[in-house]
Structures are given as structure tokens and as C-alpha cells.
Amino acid sequence: MPYLLDLVLPYLLNLAYLVLLVAALPWLVWQSFRKGKYREGLGAKLLGRVPRRRSVVPCVWFHAVSVGEVNLLATLLDEIARRCPEWECAVSTTTMTGMALATKKYPGLRVFYCPLDFSWAVRAAVRRVRPNVLVLAELELWPNLVRAAKESGAQVAVVNGRLSERSFRGYRRIRPLAAWVLRHIDLIAAQDETYAERFRQLGARPEAVHVTGSMKYDGAQTDRANPATQRLRGLAGIGPDDIVFLAGSTQEPEEAAALEAFRQLRPAWPRLRLILVPRHPDRFAAVGRLLDQSGLAWQRRSRLETEGPDPQARVLLVDTVGELGAWWGTAQIAFVGGSLGPRGGQNMIEPAAYGAAVSFGPNTRNFRDIVAAMLDRRAAVVVNDAAELTAFVRRCLEDPSFAAELGRRAKALVASQLGATTRTFELLRPLVESADAARR
């Protein structure tokens, strides 16, 4: 039965992907026309025409779906550069924003769009990259990609492995396929024991599953005086007496909620400033229109270099990609978006690491373990709607000791979780070395 599945699975998957692609084609064309999406990298996505690697040194191919995963890999790539500089690393991504950030963040690495999971495309990409190890960030179980890597002699790993309850239920519905993929994975470095056990229940080999913690903690900057944050403070003209309320990774209607809190509180606290950082670039224009309608003086981040800071503009729209981590370092009060709507939350570790007073909405299923830890240590506050967000910001302004203590607990929590990157690297190194030895 496993041999038969190995034989027919690629063809069945190709057929299923083609049906889905044809069904989604009108929407894809519309998105391409309206928002410019899905136009780039068609050769890589459909045919596997990724940059060809010429060298014979050990290679690790990291796949990061979008912005969050691209940022996640930074600490691990730094560890590799420091301890195994002879390795060659490549980074693939799926989204346009992920590609833009990866190209900017890792200029010395090979960066490309990951092929869609058609057997011909992933095989061509694997032949061109020739990885020793394919590393999937968090969870990207693409069967044909995993199979192509294994057939080439590469090892396959999942790092910072996360399997939410919702994803777990979904994979259980296709457990035979999930189990087939997981049995081909040589290493699963899970964030915690709950996730590790879910991987095992889906069919992962127990000896392949390890608990390493979350690398997201390691990637967080804790020093507000870091050069990137200091540069942004200067660009925005943020003074030492200013109180920055930053709403980051936001989606509709979170920008409006943050703006309303600012509007209500600014008269009593004239040093209050608001910084809005929408999650997706395609929302920059809509948030700009919202700010125009507010009647408040505001400025775009993209114009700070040319125009300088406007002293009258107490609201800043960050309409650039990849800077949120540094902007969090300017904030005393933080709201982490994607949590009042259905998205499931965004990363709240970065503002916590800086010691900001952190708040987020009730919908944080994507970060349940982190949220549970923060709430257990009274290091964050859940706000259920716009009114509660205003009340939270007001309390931070009226009682600075409350905000400071909230931030102190958050920063202490992050400090206690450090070390996942090193543990992950120590598990990856023997995979790379064994795959390299087998090919020589």
C-alpha cells in the first residue's frame, strides 16, 4: 500500500491542484489586475525555474511562506553564518510581500519564489538548488515538494513547528495523506509539547519529533537603543517626552479603533502620538483615506526621508514593509492587530520584548501558547472591542506605573524563553552533515 501511494499520489495531487487552479483562475486574474498580485515569479511557481546553484558546498533550502516566516528565520540564519559559514543557504517564499522582505533582509542569499506543489515544478526546483536539507518554517506540508527533496537525497525538517487545534482538526480529516508526508520528515522541531504530540498523533515518527521552544522569542530585539529604532525615532521626530501608542499588524476595523482612542485621549495628553502599521501593503491606501477623513494631521512613513517630520502631525502611517520590529521599540503602549477580526492574531513577542504595555483582541488562535504564557504572567491585556482599547490606553496614560509593570513582566517573560534557535541549530547540523557525507 505505501508503494502504491508513492506511485499514484503525485498524479492525484497534480490533478487536484489543476482543478483548484482552474476554479480559482477568475479570482486570480482579478487580483492580479486589481492589486498586482500573482504576476511575479511565474516561471519559478509553475515550472520550477529558480536560480541554479553551481557550488558543491552543503546547502540548506529554507521555505518561508510570507513576512512572518521570513522574519522568523533571521536568528537561525545568523546562527548558521556564525557557526557554519561554509554552508550555503537559500530562502524561498510564496507571497509578494514575503519576497520583497526576503530580498531586502537577506541580500547575500539566494532568494526565490517557491514552486507550486506540482510534481514537475518542485522536481525542477530541487534539481536546480540541490539542497542537503529542505527546511520548512512552522508548517508547510506540501507532499510533492517533500517527496522531491527526499528522492534527491535531501533530508527534510520542520523548524519552529506549530500545529494549532484548527489545523490539527483539518489534517485529521486527511490523516492518511498527512501521515504519509510526516513519515518522510526527518526532523520536527516543535515549539512545545502540545504541538509535538499533535504531530505524533498525525503520524510523525516519534524519534523525529523534538521540543525546542519558539524561535520567535530569540528573534525579538530587547534594546530600545538599537540603531534601527533610533534611526526611526529621529526620522519621525519622536521626542523624549512623547508617549507613543502603536497599533501594529492591523486589519480592518482595528485602525479605526486605534484612531478613535487617539482622538478621545489626545486633548488630555498632548504628548500622545499614534503610529499605525497595517498588516498588508494593499491596505495602505484605505488607511490613508481613513486618516484623511479623520481631519487629523498625519504623515506617511515613506515621505519622512524627503519631507522630514511634520511637527503638527501626531499620527504616522507606516506604509513600508519590514520595519515593524524596529517601530515597536518606539512604543510605550502597544496594540497587536489581527486580533479583533477573524485573522487569529499576530506576533505579540516583539512589543513584549521591548517592555511595552501590550494589548490585543480576543481572537489570537494563531498564538495561543504565547498568549497563554503572557496572560498567565499578567504581561498583557485582552481588549474585546474599540471601547475597551480606549479604556486600556487611558489607564496606561493615567497610571504610568501600571503600564511600566505590565511591560516589565512582558520583557521578563521573553527573557525566560530564549535559546530555541541554538537548540534548533544543534538538531539541524547532523542532518546537513549526514546528507552531505552521503552525496560525497
The pLDDT mean for the chain works out to 92
- The single-letter DSSP state of residue 223 is -
Q: Are 44 and 50 in contact (CB under 8 A)?
A: yes
- CA 73 to centroid of chain Cα atoms: 9
Q: How confident is the model at residue 37 (pLDDT cuts 50, 70, 90)?
A: low
Q: How confident is the model at residue 38 (pLDDT cuts 50, 70, 90)?
A: low
Give pLDDT, residue 283. 94
Query: In the sheet that 59-63 helps form, which strands lie side by side, from edge to edge?
Result: 110-113, 88-93, 59-63, 133-137, 155-161, 187-190, 209-211
DSSP 175-213: HHHHHHHHHT-SEEEESSHHHHHHHHHHT--GGGEEE--
pLDDT higher than threshold 50 for residue 1: no
Q: Are 64 and 92 in contact (CB under 8 A)?
A: yes
Give pLDDT, residue 345. 87
Instruction: Please give the model's pTM, rounded to 2 decimal places.
Output: 0.74
CA distance 346 to 312: 31
CA distance 66 to 48: 19
Give pLDDT, residue 34. 67
C-alpha grid cell, residue 305: 526621508
CA distance 161 to 140: 10
Give 3-state DSSP helix, strand, coil % of the chain, rounded to 5. 55, 15, 30
Share of the chain above pLDDT 70, in %: 96
Q: Each residue of 346-397: pLDDT tens digit?
A: 989 999 999 999 999 999 987 888 898 999 999 999 999 999 999 999 999 9
Give pLDDT, residue 36. 62
Share of the chain above pLDDT 90, in %: 75
Q: How many CB atoms lie within 10 A of CB 359?
A: 23
pLDDT higher than threshold 90 for residue 88: yes
Q: Which residues participate in catalysis according to the annotation? A: 69
Give pLDDT, residue 216. 86
Residue 88 belongs to what H/E stretch?
strand 88-93
Burial 254-279 (b: 16+ CB within 10 A, else e): bbebbbbbbeebbeeeeebbbbbbbb
| DSSP-assigned beta bridge partners for residue 273 | 244
DSSP 260-290: HHHHHHTTT-TTEEEEEEESSGGGHHHHHHH
User: What's the residue count for the chain?
Assistant: 440
Question: Reduced to 3 states, what is the DSSP secondary structure of residue 33?
Answer: helix
Residue holding cell 526621508?
305
Q: Each residue of 94-147: pLDDT tens digit?
A: 988 899 999 999 999 999 999 999 999 999 999 999 999 999 998 878 999 999
- CA 231 to centroid of chain Cα atoms: 23
Alpha carbons within 13 A on the beta-carbon side of 422: 3
For 69, counting Cβ atoms within 10 Å of its Cβ (0-12 exposed, 13-18 middle, 19+ buried), the class is buried
pLDDT higher than threshold 60 for residue 2: no
Give pLDDT, residue 440. 67
Q: Are 64 and 76 in contact (CB under 8 A)?
A: no
Give pLDDT, residue 33. 66
Give pLDDT, residue 220. 84
Report which listed range, 10-24, 95-109, 241-255, is most confident: 241-255
Who has greater pLDDT, 439 or 223?
A: 223
